[in-house]
Structures are given as structure tokens and as C-alpha cells.
Amino acid sequence: MSFQVFGIPVSRGVAIGRAVLVASSRVDVAHYFIPATEVDQEYERLMRGRDAVTRELQALKTDLPPDAPHELDALLDVHLLLLNDDALVDAARHWIEERHYNAEWALSAQLEVLARQFDEMEDEYLRERKADLEQVVERVLSALAVAQDAALPGGAAAVVARDFAGEDPLLLVAADIAPADMIQFKRSVFQGFITDIGGKTSHTAIVARSMDIPAVVGTREASRLIRQDDWVIIDGDAGTVIVNPSPIILEEYRFRQRQSELERARLARLRHTPAITLDGQRIELHANIELPGDAVAALAAGATGVGLFRSEFLFMNREGELPSEDEQFEAYKAAVEAMRGMPVTIRTVDVGADKPLDRMSVNELRHEHVLNPAMGLRAIRWSLAEPSMFRQQLRAIFRASAFGHVKLLVPMVAHLSEIRQVQEAVKRVKQQLDDSKQAYGEIQLGVMIEVPAAALMLPQLLKHVDFISIGTNDLIQYTLAIDRADEAVAHLYDPWHPAVLQLLSSSIAQARAMGKEVSVCGEMAGDAGFTDLLLSMGLNCFSMHPSQIPSVKQRVLRADAHRLATALPRILESEDPAKTAAEAFAPHQRLH
């Protein structure tokens, strides 16, 4: 039966493929693909796990005291029957052979199939046996985890692709994808994804855009309604998910998919074209990256620098261990050298809120115990609370600056005292490097404007820094008091809100008036729908995911920045800025 699920469109395009469900579990489950040569070996591993639990249950039956309730003995019999039923472990072989799932993933997938069958049973007693089935599966998963010391880390959403040999495209369906798992996701075979939660600027959405693959988030029910191996269409433009589509619908979306691929190829031809407006203004289009290897994609997309190196991704998936100074140095150096003399802006570690680490503070604070992590010990606050860690990162960044043009960016600044503490830490680090005779270059210091307080006190901040970078994602979130990852209030997250536009426009104007560099590195920078607006505000440096550069460059090449600027006062004074901007910019767009 075909049906639709609706959510929030966060990455454009069409993806068609088989659903791969990563369901949550009380037991952490590693999900990865196995090589074809290891199928038999993986099934044997699953059988060994099943046999180990069988022996365990049989031992429990044998050791029951004479006065034990009869129901307990009967319950163990039920678990043994379920465990040895062909519909469970034997049927899981299908997922190993056909989809190359590892044993844990195959068992979890089969559990979901059977659990839905139990849910559809009319007999109440039989429906309740689903809980017994789940307990049996969790026992087997635990046995597999004990036997597999080298199991992949990361929990329920950790998905890594290795030598996948299947023919059908795959789409990931999950309740959510943790930020710590995004690096693994970026290396996967998935051509699109669907999540139950999230908003337009949640980190799952940002990763989808960075991979240039279609995605829909905030569907609420997708992971419950979609079944393993269902054929699914993701319409990343409309925010629609079509499950088990009819042949006519499937063919229509395949046509749209081909058209999208042709458009990408056409935009790719702009790679070496300088981004210069019709009235002669040169616009810098920089890239946002997470790992040193992303610099290659940045260059391939035509980026003229790295406007944001999110260093926190070096700190994730490490089971509580922080990267050493040398490890960080090598990573920063690799990115700097890859950019061949172009500027690389490295943001100091920005953890907390929706990007927790295993180790979050001097007191080993855990993310889930924080009442409001978005307002808590995060970003520069965390760095200043961990002075030795912070100085270690600064040393690594300064050492890398000897190999190219490096800029230092401090996130979530709200107080002048924070800038002074950073400057003091920089002074101390430079002295340490001088004492140890280690080379370093000159580094410009900048701050992110993400907190309304920083935007409102910008004239004071600008006296102490060389440049600013406006993080529109958090600036909108904090200005409107909207959790950008919460689909329940996602409709209130509005980049066109008059207050947001006032803060954005005034920040750009004040920085330029004081002769300081200013860029926008939030999602607005990579959305071609905001390019004309940002140009009208006088912005000349955009930083975005490499995949977004071609479409923004095309918009820049067709723009007359001086003419766009004449419409800005009317937009800022409007009660409906989005409508006013569309009317003001439309004639200009038609001319070109």
C-alpha cells in the first residue's frame, strides 16, 4: 500500500531507494555492511550468539528452585521457543545475505518485522508476546556484544558502509542521527535520509546539505510507519516522503531525478568562474568543512578559502579521549596545505547543546543531565573552563599557521571578558612556542556573532578583534527563542523575521564601517534564496558547504549589488520582509 509522510525539507532534490531502518534499542547496536566474502562467517557468528543464549536459558531452567512459580518455568520455555523459531534467527540470514548487514543489524531488522506482525494480531495474549520477543533479541545482542570486542562504537545510529555490493540505492530512516555519528554517515552509501525529529538547521539537516543529498526531517512517525526494504521516494523540495509508490509516480520522480542531475552538471561548469557581480563587486565564496579531507571538495567546488573549519568533529567518536596537540596539529596543517595559500578559518571547539562529547567538562558533566544545554557550558564557555585543553588546541592551530594563511574564530562570544581571556591564552601560547622554538605565523582573531548580546554590543567587540563571522543558525535560534532541532516549533524558526534581519544588517554595516572583515557562515549563506538579500546588505564574503557554492555563485553572477541595496530599507521596514524582498528583487532577477 502506498502512502505519504510529510516533514521539513532540508536538502533539495529527489532520492529513490530501499529503506534502511536504524531503530532505537535499549541495547546499543552497531550497524555496518560486511563484505560478500564474510556472509557465511557473519551468519555463523549470529548462530553462536543464539546458541550462547540458548545455553544460558537452559541453565536457568535447570537451576530453578523446586518452589519456583510454574509461570517462571513456562516463561523460560516461551523464550526458548522464540529463540529457536525459524522466523527469528534463521530469517535474519536474509538480511545478511541480501543486504550485507552485520549480525546485530540483521537481528534488529528481523525483530522489527516480527514486532509489527505481533502488533497486528487480534489476540491480546499473542500481542503481549512481543515483549518476550524483544527480551530474547536483546539477550542475543548482548551475547554478540560480549563476543565481539572489536564492535563498532557509536550506538543505534552509527552506520558505516564497507564494501556494499547491493544493486538498489539505499535511504536511511531513523528517529535521529547523533552529531557524533555524522562523520561515519558522510562516508556511507546512503543517497538520502529521513528522520523523525529535527529542523531546517539541525545538524542532521546540515550534514544532508553538505553531502548534497535529499533529506526530510521532522516527520515524527517515519521510522515507525516505514518498513525495512520498502521502496521510498524522498522529495527534498516539498518535504514529502512517498512509500511504496505506484509505477506512474515512480517514473515521474525518476524523470525529476535526471533533470536535477543535469542541473548539477550545468552548475559545475561555473567552478573556475570568479564570483563577480554585474556591477563589478568581487564576492568571496568560502567553504565550511568538518575534517581536513573536506578541503579537497572545497577546492573542487571552486571555494576561495575555508570560512569555517568546525574543529569539534576532531573531538567526536573518541570514547571520552580528547585528541592530542600533535594530532590536532596534523589535521589543521593538512587542511591549510590543501587550500594552497587560501585562508583557512579554524573555529575553536564548539561543543555542547546538540554536539555533546563523552567528556563535557572538568566535572565529567554529561549532556543528558543538563536542563538547557543550548544555554549552558558550551563553545567558548567550555574552552575557558578547560584551560589546558584550550591552550593545547591553540598551540596546534598556531603551529599549523606556519604552513599557510590561518585565522582563529571564537564561537558564542557574549562578553568582552571572554575576548580578553582568549587574548591572554593566545599570548601565553605564543610565549610557549617561542620558548620551545616552534614556528608559527601571524593569525587574525575573530568572533562569531551568534548571541543577540554580541550583535548589540558589536562596536565594543570590534575594537578587540580583526574580523567577525555571523552564525545565522544560532543567531536566529537565540533571537527568537526557538530550539532549531525541535520539530514542534520548527515552523517558528524564521530567517526572515524582522528582528533577525535588523541584527544581521546592522552587524554587517557596523563591521564594514570600522574596516573589519565580515562573513556569514550560517545556513543563510548557502541558501541561494537569501543571496540577493545578503548582497543588498553589503556582504562580500559567504561561507557554506562546498555543495552549495555553485548555486550561490550563479546567483552572484546575475546580481547587481548596488541596485539590490536600494531595496534594503523597504525590506527592513516591512512587516512581511519575505514578501517585500520577493517583490523588490523579482524585476531585477527577470532582467538577468
Task: Determine the distance from the C-alpha atom of residue 158 to the mean position of all C-alpha atoms in its chain, rounded to a whole number.
Answer: 13
Euclidean distance between CA atoms 328 and 333, whole angstroms: 8
Closest CA to 554 of 256, 173, 323, 270: 270
- SS3 of 486-507: CCCCHHHCCCCCHHHHHHHHHH
Euclidean distance between CA atoms 556 and 533, whole angstroms: 11
Supply the DSSP string of 443-469, one letter for each residue: -EEEEEE-SHHHHHTHHHHHTT-SEEE
Supply the DSSP string of 330-346, one letter for each residue: HHHHHHHHHTTTS-EEE
* Count of all residues that appear for the chain in the document: 592
Residue 29's CB is within 10 A of a number of other CB atoms, namely: 26
CA angle 213, 215, 219 (to 5 degrees): 170
Pairing of strands 170-174, 14-22: parallel
Read off the DSSP letter of residue 359. S
Q: Which of 31, 100, 203, 286 is catalytic?
A: 203
Task: Determine the distance from the C-alpha atom of residue 578 to the mean position of all C-alpha atoms in its chain, rounded to a whole number.
Answer: 27
Residue type, 498: P
Q: Are 218 and 199 in contact (CB under 8 A)?
A: yes
Q: Which of 79, 521, 541, 545 is catalytic?
A: 521
Euclidean distance between CA atoms 501 and 497, whole angstroms: 6
Place of cell 545455553: 55
Task: Determine the distance from the C-alpha atom of residue 236 to the mean position of all C-alpha atoms in its chain, rounded to a whole number.
Answer: 16
Q: Using only C-alpha atoms, what is the Rg of the chain? A: 27
Place of cell 530501499: 18
Euclidean distance between CA atoms 438 and 339, whole angstroms: 22
Q: Which helix (H) or strand (E) holds 393?
A: helix 387-400
Q: Does residue 286 have an active-site annotation?
A: no
Cα separations in angstroms, 420 against 194, 249, 351, 507: 43, 60, 21, 21
Cell of 423: 587574548
Closest CA to 11 of 183, 216, 198, 254: 216
Q: Does residue 541 have an active-site annotation?
A: no
Q: Is 22 helix (H, G, I), strand (E, B) or coil?
A: strand
Which residues are catalytic, by number? Answer: 203, 521
